[in-house]
Chain A
Amino acid sequence: GAGVSQSPRYKVAKRGQDVALRCDPISGHVSLFWYQQALGQGPEFLTYFQNEAQLDKSGLPSDRFFAERPEGSVSTLKIQRTQQEDSAVYLCASSKAIYEAFFGQGTRLTVV
């Protein structure tokens, strides 16, 4: 595709629900990143994949957060038993060359 595509754009979840956020990277991009952006804050790193390998998950805030990229292309960020503090915009970025990350428009998650 022309850019990084994220779906859904908006998600409202009741506290305790599980959610799955999808990221379609630019075709051919080896690296894929997930970031969390709380209201009024800068994005914070969650996790990083190179192809299907998850090389860094140091930013995942708890074991309720899980990310996968089984075929080295599409990635899914799953949040189990959502809590209000999970409300944020979740950004996905992909890159072919290092330090050339392209960001999607994000998924705005609201937990009520």
Chain B
Amino acid sequence: AQSVTQLDSQVPVFEEAPVELRCNYSSSVSVYLFWYVQYPNQGLQLLLKYLSGSTLVESINGFEAEFNKSQTSFHLRKPSVHISDTAEYFCAVSAGNQGGKLIFGQGTELSVKP
């Protein structure tokens, strides 16, 4: 079985500051890793994913995440946040033999202040 732990439930940060949202997972098999974002009153949107290849993956709006197999982590980072990044962020894993079923963490609420 897989599980995901997001170490921070809330992360307040000032605009233009860097941010890191932490995610650790546990699994006895190889997994694929995802970050989803949920803006207020909206559905979940895929931010980025790691399936294979380069361990550093990037999104179109400046976020990046690095898959670290030895530390079983997939932390999300952004060097300079904007007010519009305020949202709930969910880390998720999926095992290769489960048809795409996702196991989510509890979520991290990112609050960007001016």
Contacts and interface: CB of A to CB of B under 8 A. Distances in A.
Interface residues of B, number: 26
B43 interface: yes
A55 B100 CA distance: 11
B104 A4 contact: no
B94 interface: yes
A52 to B, nearest CB: 15
B102 interface: yes
B69 interface: no
Nearest to A104: B43
Contacts of A101: 46, 100, 102
B11 to A, nearest CB: 15
A50 B101 CA distance: 12
B104 A48 contact: no
B43 A4 contact: yes
Contact of B100 (A31, A35, A43): A31
